[in-house]
A and B are shown apart, each in its own frame.
Chain A
Amino acid sequence: MTTTNPEPSALSAPPTAQISPVAWAKRNLFSDWSNTILTVVCLGAIAWLAYGLLNWIFTQAQWQVISANLRLFFVGRYPAQLMWRPWTVLGIIALSAGLTWGILARSTWLFNQTGLVVLGVIAAICVALAVPVSLNTSLLLLAILGVSVAAAFAGQRIGQRFPTLVSWLPLIWLGIFFVVFGLIRGGLFLQEVRLDDLSGLLLTLLTAIVSIVLSFPLGVLLALGRQSNLPVVRWMSIGFIEIIRGLPLITILFMSSLLVPLVLPPNVRIDRVVRAIAGLTLFSAAYLAENVRGGLQSIPRGQSEAAKALGLSAPLVTVLIILPQALKAVIPTIVGQFISLFKDTSLLAIVGFAELLGISQSILSNPNFLGRYQEVYAFDTVIYFCCCYAMALASRRLERQLGTGQR
């Protein structure tokens, strides 16, 4: 090879800067004396905090309060003889999640670095549970995890064979939701469990998911109503949104649990949970409507003009052209809204529900575990974080999925 004719790849490749960790640290952490002081102080503070935390976790904290009450935390007072139903639900969700993951990642690597780390952490937790809970539970959880991973591989194959399946995923998940709900609730040939008897994380998830699923279409309708040409629809939407936004969520929940039964005729009884879900849904829908409206307004006027000029009727213009673009633009805010709705379900503890936070309080009032606040609330924190982080990851995935053909 001559010097005048270098390899094309050498020409076009961007310059890569490979530096050793020591050089990196020197350049970024210890470049001059003020940075060095900052680095040392910060490292010291981090080490001190980490030592305190680890010391508390491993020597001071008494975790029996968690391990003895794990079932209460997760499924609350769900009848013991019906425990197979929550387990089946977990299995169904793990299976569907694995399949979905595989279908979405049909043309890429199934597990990237982050995926492997998350999977490893979950597996480690499953194994670790063998000590405080039972070997059987641990093995069952590992089996469900295995099902999920196997489903991911199967999903990849299925996704490659039927690429159009992706657009059906939301509908499929809606179907799964009804199956899961039916399993938890019972009815038909299964023994029925009253909604008001649900508690623990199960109740948290139920109220959050149902409110999310219901508030989404309601919020979109309110956003469209607010922009409607019909004055009655527009003023009612604005009125609803502004009234709900002017109230704290906790007052809405109090009204739904205390005021509604007083107003209704005595022979009409609505489950407390249903009333609470209605309150959460209305509250979330009002905020969602404003987020969606922001998305609607971000679509240039030319889009609807072009669609109208093609002869599309106003509803078709909205459904085919405006909404898909508007919703895509506001996915991050909508997911943020859903995450905060999930955390807002903890307010239900104040109006007397035994959801995750409520059941924690009743566990704390058990004389055997008096004063174990730190352990219980630390545990709740981890659970809330895991759920919210999962939603954030799903949203990122969704954005990437819909990101094709960005302008």
Chain B
Amino acid sequence: MTQAQTDTIQPEVSSEKVIIARDVEKWYDNNFHVLRGVSLTVNKGEVVVVMGPSGSGKSTFIRTFNALESYQKGSIEIDGIKLSHDLKNIETIRREVGMVFQQFNLFPHLTVLKNVTLSPIWVRRWPKAKAEEVALQLLERVGILEQAHKFPGQLSGGQQQRVAIARALAMQPKIMLFDEPTSALDPEMVREVLDVMRTLANSGMTMVCVTHEVGFAREVADRVVLMDSGVLVEEATPEEFFQNPKEERTQKFLSQIL
């Protein structure tokens, strides 16, 4: 991310498409048809929130973007690179796509700082000094600079999730995926994580978030999509999605969560 983007408060969504998913279909081993032809296009700088009941395949869908889940039909293109089964290709794409998980998944045997510098040093081959400088900047940005030399187990859930965000950002990805980043948090810690995500969105990062946080979706999202039973049901701006949903399924879902 460049300095100019960081300073922009109202980023412009360009028409450059960084994620193009076409008719993605996936079956689990037990022949469960989890994705039934899902298509989604995300433009550069756009924030897309994916909602839907549990088991609708929304997590599975965004996990296909960085090949944590395989798919059997359709095609996915990330930043102009077609996702294939080739390991080199997958690793190239993963370098450009950061991911934040529901369970944080920090590495418990490494300090916070080492969690953040690990992949810049081993994947980007940065010298240690540069990686640490960038890491400390990021940790300051997410507000946990003082904890840099602690181990993940010594931090609260909210702090751990902010470290996880800093860890993903350290690779300077073009796209960030959030897989229910606040679902495992105590209520009083949700806000600190959402604040970090909001700042990130305002800085022009392309983000795809699976979340149930309606407030976040209303305020930050450029588009909200609803998935149900492996199908993308509705795709709309937040205003339209929450005030005036077209599909009956969306209306039912909203009546349950609002």
Q: Are B168 and A305 in contact (CB under 8 A)?
A: no
Q: Is A85 an interface residue (CB 8 A)?
A: no
B residues in contact with A372, CB < 8 Å: none
Q: Cα distance A321–B97 when bound, in Å?
A: 20
B residues in contact with A18, CB < 8 Å: none
Interface positions, chain B 55-103, Cβ under 8 Å from A, are 66, 68, 87, 91, 94-95, 97-99, 101, 103
A330 CB to closest chain B CB, in angstroms?
Answer: 14
> Which of B94, B107, B122, B150 is in CB contact (< 8 Å) with A309?
B94
B128 CB to closest chain A CB, in angstroms?
Answer: 13
Q: Cα distance A282–B103 when bound, in Å?
A: 40
Q: Are B109 and A405 in contact (CB under 8 A)?
A: yes
A404 CB to closest chain B CB, in angstroms?
Answer: 7
Q: Are A305 and B105 in contact (CB under 8 A)?
A: yes
Q: Is A371 an interface residue (CB 8 A)?
A: no
Q: Is B127 an interface residue (CB 8 A)?
A: no
Interface positions, chain B 100-159, Cβ under 8 Å from A, are 101, 103, 105-109, 111, 118-119, 122-123, 150-154
A residues in contact with B162, CB < 8 Å: none
A residues in contact with B109, CB < 8 Å: 324-325, 328, 405
Q: Is A303 an interface residue (CB 8 A)?
A: yes
Q: Is B171 an interface residue (CB 8 A)?
A: yes
A residues in contact with B66, CB < 8 Å: 309
B residues in contact with A302, CB < 8 Å: 101, 103, 105
Q: Cα distance A309–B95 when bound, in Å?
A: 8
Given A306-B107, A312-B122, A312-B123, are A405 and B154 neighbors across the interface (CB < 8 Å)? yes
Q: Are B105 and A311 in contact (CB under 8 A)?
A: no
Q: Cα distance A108–B57 when bound, in Å?
A: 53
Q: Are A310 and B105 in contact (CB under 8 A)?
A: no
Q: Is B167 an interface residue (CB 8 A)?
A: yes
A residues in contact with B106, CB < 8 Å: 306
Interface positions, chain A 354-381, Cβ under 8 Å from B, are none
Q: Is A320 an interface residue (CB 8 A)?
A: yes
Q: Cα distance A330–B210 when bound, in Å?
A: 36
Given A310-B119, A405-B153, are A303 and B107 neighbors across the interface (CB < 8 Å)? yes
> Which of B68, B91, B108, B154 is in CB contact (< 8 Å) with A305?
B68
Q: Cα distance A300–B107 when bound, in Å?
A: 11
Q: Cα distance A305–B104 when bound, in Å?
A: 11
B residues in contact with A321, CB < 8 Å: 107
Q: Are A309 and B153 in contact (CB under 8 A)?
A: no
Given A302-B105, A324-B109, A405-B109, are A311 and B119 neighbors across the interface (CB < 8 Å)? yes
Q: Cα distance A310–B171 when bound, in Å?
A: 7
Interface positions, chain B 164-182, Cβ under 8 Å from A, are 164, 167-168, 171
Q: Is A316 an interface residue (CB 8 A)?
A: yes
Q: Are B154 and A310 in contact (CB under 8 A)?
A: no
Q: Are A311 and B101 in contact (CB under 8 A)?
A: no
Q: Cα distance A306–B87 when bound, in Å?
A: 16
Q: Are B118 and A310 in contact (CB under 8 A)?
A: yes
Given A302-B101, A302-B103, A325-B109, are A311 and B151 neighbors across the interface (CB < 8 Å)? no
Q: Cα distance A307–B101 when bound, in Å?
A: 12
B residues in contact with A312, CB < 8 Å: 118-119, 122-123
A residues in contact with B98, CB < 8 Å: 309-310
A258 CB to closest chain B CB, in angstroms?
Answer: 46
A residues in contact with B118, CB < 8 Å: 310, 312, 320
Q: Which residue on chain A has the smallest CB distance to residue B88? A: A313
Q: Cα distance A303–B152 when bound, in Å?
A: 13
Q: Are B91 and A311 in contact (CB under 8 A)?
A: yes
Q: Are B95 and A311 in contact (CB under 8 A)?
A: yes
Q: Cα distance A406–B123 when bound, in Å?
A: 26
Given A311-B91, A311-B123, A312-B123, are A306 and B101 neighbors across the interface (CB < 8 Å)? yes
A305 CB to closest chain B CB, in angstroms?
Answer: 6
B30 CB to closest chain A CB, in angstroms?
Answer: 18
B residues in contact with A308, CB < 8 Å: 68, 94
Q: Cα distance A307–B99 when bound, in Å?
A: 10
Given A405-B154, A407-B152, are A316 and B94 neighbors across the interface (CB < 8 Å)? no
A residues in contact with B151, CB < 8 Å: 404-406
Q: Are B108 and A405 in contact (CB under 8 A)?
A: yes
Which of A300, A309, A320, A321 has the largest count of B CB atoms less than 10 A from its CB? A309
B87 CB to closest chain A CB, in angstroms?
Answer: 8
Q: Cα distance A321–B87 when bound, in Å?
A: 19
Q: Cα distance A404–B109 when bound, in Å?
A: 8
Q: Which residue on chain A has the smallest CB distance to residue B110? A: A405
Q: Which residue on chain B has the smallest CB distance to residue A402? A: B109
Other contacts beyond A306-B106, A309-B99: 7, CB < 8 A: A300-B103, A305-B105, A309-B168, A311-B94, A324-B109, A325-B108, A405-B150
Query: Lowest 9 A-B CB distances belong to which pairs?
Result: A405-B151, A306-B105, A310-B119, A302-B105, A311-B95, A407-B153, A309-B99, A311-B94, A407-B108
A residues at B contact (CB < 8 Å): 300, 302-303, 305-314, 316, 320-321, 324-325, 328, 404-407
| 6 pairs of residues in contact across A and B, judged by CB atoms under 8 Å | A309-B94, A310-B94, A311-B119, A312-B123, A325-B107, A405-B108
B residues at A contact (CB < 8 Å): 66, 68, 87, 91, 94-95, 97-99, 101, 103, 105-109, 111, 118-119, 122-123, 150-154, 164, 167-168, 171
